[in-house]
Amino acid sequence: MAFIRKNIEELNFNPVSMIGKEWFLLTAGTPESYNTMTCSWGGIGVMWNAPTVTAYVRTSRYTFEYMEKYDKFTVSVFPEEYRKALSFCGSHSGRDVDKIRETGLTPVMLEDVPAFAEAKLVFVCEKVYAQMLEENCFIDRENLEKLYAKNAMHKMYLGRITAVYENQT
């Protein structure tokens, strides 16, 4: 593992395919207590003049408790060979299993926030805004009925990107 801190404007990636197709691990907590889960919804953009990540976390997720409790989180993007590990972290809860033991991923601290040594890219983020999605704000009602009739609502977290690390190994 050799994480090199990069200027985000020097990086070359497509946020739509990176998030939607490659997925990422969203992680928050401390070295002693943290949780991670797979996400494929979110965004990378600019808000209040700063580069930002947006993540959407259903309130039923164990990770939700960590996102609420801690001010920072990381977004870790992995090479294709870790697809199985990401599938595992997206289909099991940290309430029931030790995802790190089961996947063999290696936690590392970057800027005091847990991330993973196997990641190819890590965004370290500081929460700047968080808000529940609200039923009465859905313009496309089909999404509301299809995605939330039986499942918990998402909370949106906007994180200012405070550092980006690229893995040079």
Interface contacts to ligand FMN, rule CB under 6 A: 23, 35, 37-41, 56-58, 61-63, 87, 90-95, 154
Q: Is the Cβ of residue 33 or residue 87 nearer to ligand FMN in the bound state?
A: 87
Give whichever of 3 and 78 is closer to ligand FMN, judged by the CB atom: 78
Instruction: Write down the least CB distance from residue 141 to ligand FMN, Å.
Output: 20
Identify which of residues 90 and 107 has a Cβ nearer to ligand FMN in the complex. 90
User: How many other CB atoms sit within 10 Å of the CB of residue 164?
Assistant: 22
Nearest approach in angstroms of CB 10 to ligand FMN is 27
Residue 84 Cβ vs ligand FMN, minimum distance, rounded to whole Å: 11
Cα separations in angstroms, 27 against 69, 76, 106, 130, 147: 12, 8, 13, 16, 23
Minimum gap (Å) between residue 50 Cβ and ligand FMN? 22
- Which residues share a beta bridge with 77? 121
Q: What is the per-residue DSSP string for 88-116?
A: HHTTS-TTTS-HHHHH---EEEETTEEEE
d(CA 86, CA 68): 22
